A = this chain, B = another copy of it.
Amino acid sequence: MSASEQTNWQSVHDEVLRRIHTREWKPGDQIPKEVELAEQLGCARATVNRALRELAAEGFLDRRRKAGTRVATHPVRRAKLDIPVIRLEIEGRGQKYGYGLLLTERRTPTPEICANLGVSAKSDMLHISSLHLADGKPYMFEERWVSIDTVPEIVDADLSKISANEWLVLHAPYTKGDISFSAVLASELEAKILRTHAGAPLFLMERTTWENDAGITSARLLFAPGYRMHSAI
């Protein structure tokens, strides 16, 4: 896309947003048709379409095939969270990345892991625990199960040199994933690994990914006390 095209849909976007903000167009109002707007603003219909799609994605507009486009009555704002490889997240903070493999074993998965991944417990999985460090301090404790059926190559990976997190990103791209965030208390073991005290508040990220319908991995990422996930809205 050229710079001028970019400016163009962006300026339509801003003009529509101005009308919403000044309440020239009120919540629930139907807005003019794309062709009318294109004529008013002196641009191509495709440019208006691009701007309106963006505004709908941002939650300012409701677009319905038959009912037309309306100003959202209760805009749902959408935050975009970047989920990088942990090494890059730490390096991006200007800190030195460290990594230690704590455990790797083939084992029958727990019923909870089978349920997460939607698989039966017939096959062993790879169970991996590791610690990620920032400037030598515990940053995140990763406990992960990887399906050997879906990703057989993982058994040959040297997970003492590369984290399962990074290996999977490079070798087992997923087509579908679930992520959830919550607050939990550190157990005795988790506290010991993260060098804090039992009962400390920990930010927990749980991720499960699939390649089509085949479960790849289910991971529990526990961040050391003080961790804050941040985004623009």
Contacts and interface: CB of A to CB of B under 8 A. Distances in A.
A201 B180 contact: no
Given A178-B233, A201-B201, A227-B182, A81 B84 contact: no
Max chain B C-beta neighbours (<10 A), residue from A49, A88, A177: A177
For this chain, the copies found in one complex come to 2
User: Interface extent on A, as a size class?
Assistant: 35 or more
A228 B179 contact: no
B83 A180 contact: no
A77 interface: yes
A32 interface: no
B181 A228 contact: yes
A1 B49 contact: yes
Nearest to A3: B65
A229 interface: yes
Interface in A181-213: 181-185, 199, 201-204, 207, 209, 211
16 contacts: A1-B49, A1-B53, A21-B175, A74-B84, A74-B170, A75-B173, A77-B83, A79-B179, A177-B232, A181-B203, A182-B226, A182-B229, A183-B202, A183-B203, A199-B199, A201-B201
Interface of A: 1, 17, 20-21, 27, 46, 49, 53, 59-60, 74-85, 88, 166, 169-170, 173, 175-185, 199, 201-204, 207, 209, 211, 225-233
